Amino acid sequence: MRQFSACIEWLFARDGDAFADRIRLAQAAGLDAVEFWHWTNKDLDAIAAAVAETGIGVSGMVAEPMIALTNPANKEAWLNGLRESVAVAQRLGAPVLIAQAGDELAEFSRAEQRAAIVATLRVGADILEGSGVRLGLEPLNTKIDHAGYYLSSTAEGLDIVDEVGRPEVGIVYDLYHSAVMGEDTQQVVGDRIDRIVHLHVADHPGRNDPGTGRIDLAERLDWLYAQGYRGRVGLEYKPTTQDPAAVRSVVKSLGG
């Protein structure tokens, strides 16, 4: 059975509700996990209370601070933030922290920026070791949403992970970003399924509910699961409706 997770930055975001209420709405929609981005701007006590009340799991959040890994000068600050992020993830029971590479910097070559990412993530792996939390470096599309971002290629993300060479560090594979970049899932993932710590889905164009666009998400997921992927599928899309029934039907259409 596939497991899903609602990205409550966008799903269940109703005007006037407290952020933690989105966890209760996720439960009402039949989901058993949620994820979000920043933890530094949220009421963690309220989130922990909603998690305890509903039994909903937190599948992931962003590793803070979201400063560029491409800049070697950010290494210590990023690693200090990772230590805090791991503690928050452990408190909320989240198995995944999401790392963004940051923007491509004019003052460094691509090779230097990649070396900076690898060097920081290698020390990051020591911090993560034994914590029960894995880090997923996330490639993002540079064509629509993140112009200037360093890591737009899934294959390069996987290469970086291989260079880090530690099971604590993998990638978040977002099928929307990948499809926007024109990637073929089978080709870019190949035999490296075990490096994927988490999946994200949204359709394209629009970054809306799966089924509203042209990406063959169900087929791509079938293939990823056939290769042995067993993590969660994060529903990170801009919903066209906040009706919980619509989320349930998306989950069903994706094999849930």
| Binding interface with ligand 3PY (CB under 6 A) | 98, 138, 140, 145, 174, 200, 236
Contact 223, 254 (CB under 8 A): no
CA angle 163, 116, 118 (to 5 degrees): 20
Rank residues 71 and 178 by Cβ distance to ligand 3PY and give the closer one.
Answer: 178
Maximum Cα–Cα distance for the chain, whole Å?
A: 49
CB of 52 to ligand 3PY, least distance (A): 26
What are the helix (H) ranges across the chain? Answer: 21-28, 44-54, 75-92, 110-128, 154-164, 175-180, 185-189, 217-226, 244-253
Give whichever of 156 and 174 is closer to ligand 3PY, judged by the CB atom.
174
Distance between CA atoms of 252 and 162, rounded to whole angstroms?
Answer: 34
Residues in the chain: 256
Nearer to ligand 3PY, 124 or 136 (CB): 136
Is the CB of 100 or the CB of 212 nearer to ligand 3PY? 100
Q: How far is the CB of 173 from ligand 3PY (least distance, A)?
A: 11
